[in-house]
């Protein structure tokens, strides 16, 4: 029995390592996507809100969105994210407040405040896309762009990913969670 376990570890460990390397390459490749100018809309994916204060991850997403929105005045922003435990407001509302505080006109902001996952962020935001909205952008932290863009494309959206920084302190946890989330995404799509 011990020999079988050792054999399995020797065989499986390299396969698992190669799998995670392939995932990491995809994540890195998508985090450097070219973003179109004058997109019709951008979807800012929600992240943790501490009470009513956006987490650092969410702050970085908002900052990336504001930079883009300032340079592209016709782009509509869709703030996406429901309310989770420990949050005094929806993630969408926290995003909207920050956008307004940074000078983005309220007429350019739409709220999707029901979602609890990346898939729901995209699905529920679809109904808020401008009628002639063909070109879109998903705004999220760099480790998350690959899966978010893949989910959006599965839902027939023509999108690119706008990469926001990831807080250094959360990198290991974020990558481990994302590797598992991508694996779940692959399995779900196969079944």
Instruction: From residue 3, give the alpha-carbon distance in Å to each of 8, 12, 35, 163, 166.
Output: 9, 14, 52, 46, 42
Q: Is 173 helix (H, G, I), strand (E, B) or coil?
A: helix
Report the sign of the C-alpha dihedral through residues 117, 44, 155, 110, in that order: positive
Reported as a single tens digit per residue, the pLDDT across 117-174 is 999 999 999 999 998 889 999 999 999 999 999 999 999 999 999 999 999 888 889 9
Paired with 80 in beta bridges are: 45, 112
pLDDT of residue 34: 92
Question: Which two structure tokens, joined as six digits, stand for 7?
Answer: 């054999």
pTM value is 0.91
Compute the distance between CA of residue 138 and CA of residue 79 in angstroms, rounded to an integer.
11
Output the pLDDT for position 61.
Answer: 98
187-to-77, 138, 181 alpha-carbon distances in Å: 31, 23, 10
Indicate the angle between helix axes 145-154 and 118-126, nearest 10 degrees.
Answer: 40
pLDDT at 8 over 80: no
CA distance 129 to 131: 6
For the chain, domains (ranges, CATH) are 2-190 (3.40.50.620)
Tens digits of residue pLDDT in 32-87: 989 999 999 999 999 999 999 999 999 999 999 999 999 999 999 999 999 999 89
Per-residue model confidence (pLDDT) at position 69: 98
Look at residues 119, 121, 120 and name the one whose alpha carbon lies nearest to residue 58. 121
């Amino acid at each position: 029995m011990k020999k079988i376990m050792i054999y399995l570890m020797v065989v499986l460990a390299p396969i698992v390592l190669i799998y995670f390397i392939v995932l990491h390459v995809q994540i890195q490749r998508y985090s450097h996507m070219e973003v179109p100018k004058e997109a019709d809309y951008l979807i800012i994916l929600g992240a943790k809100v501490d009470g009513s204060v956006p987490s650092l991850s969410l702050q970085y997403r908002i900052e990336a969105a504001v930079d883009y929105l300032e340079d592209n005045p016709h782009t509509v922003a869709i703030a996406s994210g429901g309310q989770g435990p420990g949050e005094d407001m929806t993630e969408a509302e926290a995003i909207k407040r920050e956008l307004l505080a940074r000078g983005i006109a309220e007429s350019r902001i739409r709220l999707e405040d029901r979602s609890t996952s990346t898939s729901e962020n995209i699905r529920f935001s679809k109904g808020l896309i401008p009628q002639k909205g063909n070109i879109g952008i998903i705004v999220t932290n760099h480790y998350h762009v690959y899966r978010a863009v893949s989910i959006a494309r599965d839902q027939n959206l023509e999108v690119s990913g706008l990469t926001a920084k990831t807080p250094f302190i959360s990198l290991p946890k974020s990558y481990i969670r994302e590797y598992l989330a991508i694996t779940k995404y692959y399995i779900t799509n196969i079944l």
